[in-house]
Structure 1
């Protein structure tokens, strides 16, 4: 009997041990392995979390007085939601009012109202507070409003290809919005509170304040940008063309004062955003420059050879054979003319002969120093390095064609950088479009100062070249329409044939003009490029030069630059 009792005692003890071990294991599993999971569930019952987002950084122009102009900002807007099932008999009345007040299309909103499975539908986002107040005053059933933020560009399409835009996730896609997306993106704030069973707030467990993004200050001048865009609109209204580009820089600092293109877009209106309009074609696309290249090519020669601009070149009466191929002077028959007149008259033959005199290796090296064949370093997204074959890949004809702007392709920033060196006594400055960024909460500033990229030419060459280029815009030159009354303008026309179906087209061209003013103490370099103008306007002196003049004239007046020739302005007024 005692033996049976002991057996039962051992059995009960074993069962108790097993039960206790199981409970202990379960307790360990719940308390250790599932601690974070269960804690999270418990916290949801007695805590509440509130998130708040800082403001995305603003974008300003270069104006300093009285205050910078705002080019991009974030404003408080609202998202509008609807619950059609709670609208009763007024459902379609509310539907019509929402269409009218929010601007949402019938095709977009009607399917949402007809979908019986949806309890709540999105009506519209980015609705301004005045429209929300109007809807609230109507006391419409089934509507809800949620405060949010939206990006707004107060100047609409102005400088839009510089600014870029953000996507629906708030990420920068193009332009400055993309390049400085990391700096301009705000941080999210968080407040965690403990609450009672009756949902009363007891205490704050955690509090992290949101931080606004950095503000970006551009080198772009809003007034000058406006002048430029007004004149580009005028140009495309008069001259049928594929596209137009313009850029203005300060040659002393490399600062971009204005840049624009047509077609363009309004970043506030996504319906206007077509692929060809929102990409920055000036940075991404290339073109054969034609005769605007001649100033750089001849400058290379003048820097290497002990030539004077008065030395003469035989231009062969307009027709010359080199490497078995003819080279013409576009219907002109120039004879033995000085080098300055080769520039004034834009002689292909004279330029080619000068280039041949230094050889292909020296010419290649000289044009590379001007920055052709390499990215300009303008930090604005994807940038082309252009097309400039290594000298080892030149054929026998290249030395006579590339110096006149044929067989080489460039971007607008590359050409502006090169001409900036001509205007700045041979010193090439790094192009830049951002002056500084500023942290709004602390006032911390990071500046982007002017950077000397390299010295390209000696002073004697740039002075002689400027004197020669001044004759281009006077009577007898190829661009008298670029002359600004009261000022000496140094510049050059360009007319290049486009390469179509493995041949240079006689009908499709790129017309351009680039110059600086006042010529002897330049405030700016300005370039106008017209892609595929109608045949009647194929020459740079016809298509681009008049627009250069109007933009330059307005800018010089705005900057209050003292005239070189005040009598010309008096005569013009009379």
Structure 2
């Protein structure tokens, strides 16, 4: 019995021994990599290395936003043995108080940034910190965002915050692609946070953000912002906004707002200035620019023809109410083309009545009003439309000439771009393509996107020619350009406040396209509450679009044409002056030419030197007296 029991005990001990050996082998051989990884995770400490945020350029490669590398001080509190002494040495170098530094490095946490004085510092300060050779104090790199053109295209670009995160504009909309992925510097530390000796640090490189190529053209954007500055200086408006687009692709070539801001110093501006992109956010009654939609719908549905006769007594009676024309006494006998040229409200109310509310509002919907356009920018508004069941004869009448409904500037631009594009509504685009940050190879190219066909090519052609007639013979004469076929429509809309229209408060606007026979550009400007004796879109807004179109068409190399309608002059109109050929002259020769000839033109110079290499407007252009001719100077004559 004793032997049997001994054998059983020995066998049990052997089984236990074999189980221990098996377990040991399993731990040593099978679980070893996993356990090692778990242990290293407990020992490893990481210092983050920020990636370079993606570059943003205009369509031609002009850099609009980029990241420069900037040193940043991080501290691992557990490694700092002499905290008071460390704080005393760091404080003067980083322009921080001793108390602030001491409080920060005394926190019970793995890693702290010495903010604000230790973030994104100069190389000189970084060298001073390294020279102190303080335990637990490390110098890493962070990206600092730069905007080389200050406030140019600020509401499109937006800005990035101190932690490399996009906060507004494209910086926010495409933050995931622009910010990249963090890298790290890894080291091993014991439970007290002290670095383990004889262990090598590991560096994992960050992955930089992708390069964003916008549809913006920096040159056209400059033209727009120059004109906006002139508007502000001359009329002191509450707000102003302008967009220039390529109607064939839906690409936004320029977009600007007033008030504007500089992304690099956004903290110096009120939040509403940089958070509200007025060109896509602002909802307001459009006024007469909206008549383009009514005209297109009436022509498409064959409710009118441009040769039809109409009599305007100065009002149109709707449901027992007389809604008056802007012109006291009316326009009298006129054709429907005259109605468009004169921006005659009664004529457009007739069109709306002939269409009926279901048809008119179906076209308003097709043109993209009452919904977001889908532009790749945050904060877009969608406008305000009447609910169809609440539309009676009065609402139908006022909607037909742009009153009672609210739209955004981007909706206006895309709707008129559909007319310029043969009847096809395009989705607006502000991104042209994405490129690899290292190889600069195209990763993704954005293709133009047709939303829907709104009207036929024939209808679009009739509307374009009608708009050309508005500029040559009607209310849009101040946008007329000698040698270019410009079509457009003025707008002068009262601003509603607390359910009533505010006396003397108007938003004036103008939307234009050129050349009418093959539109390359659509431009829209709206100016809120300009301070002027006469507040009309044709007087204040039309010249702004005319100037931008003139410079942009010349810049794009569009050749002047003798085709199209000639401007009709009334005895009250001021006749334009032909700009003389100045490019190629010296400054002294140009002064003699300009002042000696008695031309009533102003001169503005850009650059330095004795030779004029370029001029805007170009030679032969006809401009109003008192216009400014911009001369571009160089040290050498043009070849």
Secondary structure in 2 aligned to 1:238?
A: helix
Q: Aligned residue for 2:181?
A: 187
Report the secondary structure of 1:257's partner residue: strand
2:274 corresponds in structure 1 to 278
65, 69, 77: which is aligned to 1:76?
69
Equivalent residues of 1:76, 1:128 under 8 A apart? no
Per the TM alignment, residue 515 of structure 1 is displaced from its structure 2 partner at its CA by 0.5
Q: Look up the SS of the partner of 2:298 in the other structure.
A: helix
C-alpha distance in structure 1 between counterparts of 2:83 and 2:306, whole Å: 81
Provide the aligned length of Structure 1 versus Structure 2. Answer: 550
Question: What pairs with 1:119-518 in structure 2 (closer than 5 Å)?
Answer: 121-124=114-117, 127=120, 129=122, 132=125, 145-189=139-183, 198-199=197-198, 201=200, 209-279=205-275, 280-305=277-302, 307-316=304-313, 318-333=314-329, 334-441=331-438, 443=441, 445-474=443-472, 476-518=473-515
C-alpha distance in 2 between matches for 1:116 and 1:177: 30
2:483 and 2:561 in contact (8 A); partners too: yes
C-alpha distance in structure 2 between counterparts of 1:45 and 1:362, whole Å: 70
Call closer, same or farther: CA 1:430–1:542 in 2, change over 3 Å.
same
Per-residue Cα deviation, 1:218-277 (whole angstroms, up to 9, x for no partner): 111111111111211121122122111100000111111010111122111132342221
TM-score norm. by structure 2 comes to: 0.74
State the secondary structure of the residue aligned to 2:459: helix
For residue 159 of structure 2, give the secondary structure of its aligned residue in structure 1: coil
For residue 166 of structure 1, report the CA deviation from its aligned partner: 2.2
Query: CA separation in 2, counterparts of 1:570 and 1:532?
Result: 30
Higher mean C-alpha displacement, 459-468 vs 234-243? 459-468
Instruction: Please list the CA deviations of residues 141-183 of structure 1 after superposition, one character each: whole Å capped at 9, or x if unmatched.
Output: 9997543222222222111111112233322222211221122
Q: CA deviation at 1:481?
A: 1.9
- Structure 1's consecutive aligned runs of 4 or more residues displaced over 6 angstroms after TM superposition are 34-38, 44-48, 81-84, 87-91, 113-120, 133-137, 139-144, 193-197, 566-570
Structure 1 equivalent of residue 56 of structure 2: 59
Unaligned runs of 5+ in 2: 1-12, 76-81, 190-194, 567-574, 581-598, 600-639
Going from structure 1 to structure 2, the CA distance change for 1:115 and 1:189 (only over 3 Å counts) comes to closer
The reply to whether residue 564 of structure 1 matches residue 564 of structure 2 is: no
For residues 1-30 of structure 1, give each alpha carbon's deviation from its aligned partner in whole angstroms, at most 9, with x where no partner exists. xxxxxxxxxxxxxxx9xxx9xx99xx9xx9
From the superposition, tell whether residues 198 and 132 of structure 1 become closer, same or farther in structure 2 (CA, over 3 Å).
Answer: closer
Is the alpha carbon distance of 1:201 and 1:505 closer, same or farther for their aligned partners in structure 2, counting shifts above 3 Å? Answer: closer
Query: Which residue does the alignment assign to 2:626?
Result: none
Q: Distance in 1 between matches of 2:263 and 2:527?
A: 24
Q: 1:531 Cα shift?
A: 1.6
Q: What is the rounded CA distance, in whole Å, between the counterparts of 2:468 and 2:105 in structure 1? A: 74
The superposition leaves residues 305-334 of structure 1 with CA deviations (integer Å, 9 ceiling, x where unpaired) of: 163312111112x12321122211223431
Query: What residue ranges of structure 1 are gaps of 5+ in the alignment?
Result: 1-15, 100-105
Partners of 2:181 and 2:270 lie apart in 1 by 31
Moved more, 479-488 or 41-50: 41-50
Q: Aligned pair in 2 of structure 1 residues 381, 43: CA closer, same or farther (>3 Å)?
A: same
* Residues 94 and 125, structure 2, Cα contact 8 Å, conserved in 1: no
- RCO comparison, higher one (Cα < 8 Å, 6+): 1
Give TM-score, length-normalised by structure 1.
Answer: 0.82
Root-mean-square deviation (CA, aligned residues, Å) is 4.2
SS at match of 1:124: coil
Distance 1:125 1:509 in 2: 50
Q: What secondary structure sits across from 2:461 in the alignment?
A: helix
